[in-house]
Amino acid sequence: MEKMLALAQVKKTDVVYDLGCGDGRIVVTAAKKYGCKAVGVEIDPECVKLSQELVKKEGVGHLVAIEAKDLFTRDLSQADVVTLYLLPQLNVKLLPQLAKLKPGARIVSHAFPMEGIEPDQVVRMVSKEDGVEHTLYLWTTPLKKSK
Ligand SMILES: C[S@@+](CC[C@H](N)C(=O)[O-])C[C@H]1O[C@@H](n2cnc3c(N)ncnc32)[C@H](O)[C@@H]1O
């Protein structure tokens, strides 16, 4: 999670979107570590509740918004960084929304690529948290089709 944000070179002035934010750990970490704004979008009511509780517990409610909605309906035009940990077919389904990101926006996906789109970087790392190897993919807009 920390490496995803570092790979995206998050800055204080960025707005970070985690699409499918789970328990909210990425958006909360982004706000705490970088002081940036962040938006978590989540469809599962239990996860929405967990995320909202984490935001409150960590005192970042002034920076982080949790939205209970389908990520495929979210306008991403204000996003500087998008983080994903979704199945590969969902990454591809997101392409029409990602195409509307501002130039220079960064997208980082944990574990899964985006078929047909060339990543700028692929990083394999062993997490200190679980001791397991994880793969991270970074893309910068405008997206480049694979050759
Ligand atoms: C593997 S978890 C990732 C959680 C978090 N981003 C992380 O990296 O720790 C994927 C999350 O995406 C959510 N999700 C799946 N489809 C979604 C959709 N269409 N709209 C919003 N959330 C969705 C799931 O409910 C789940 O919480």
54 CB less than 6 Å from ligand 1? Answer: no
Residue 10 is classified by DSSP as -
Give the model confidence (pLDDT) of 59-94 as tens digits: 999 999 999 999 999 999 999 999 999 999 999 999
Ligand 1 atom nearest to CA at 72? 19
- Give the chain's mean pLDDT: 97
- For the segment 108-118, the average pLDDT, to the nearest whole number, is 96
CA of 20, closest atom in ligand 1? 12
* pTM of the entire predicted model: 0.97
Map out the domains of the chain with their CATH numbers. Answer: 2-145 (3.40.50.150)
Q: Is the CB of 41 under 6 A from ligand 1?
A: yes
- List, in sequence order, the alpha helices (H) in the chain: 2-7, 25-34, 45-57, 88-93, 95-98
User: Ligand 1: does its nearest atom lie under 6 Å from the Cβ of 22?
Assistant: yes
Q: Is the CB of 26 under 6 A from ligand 1?
A: yes
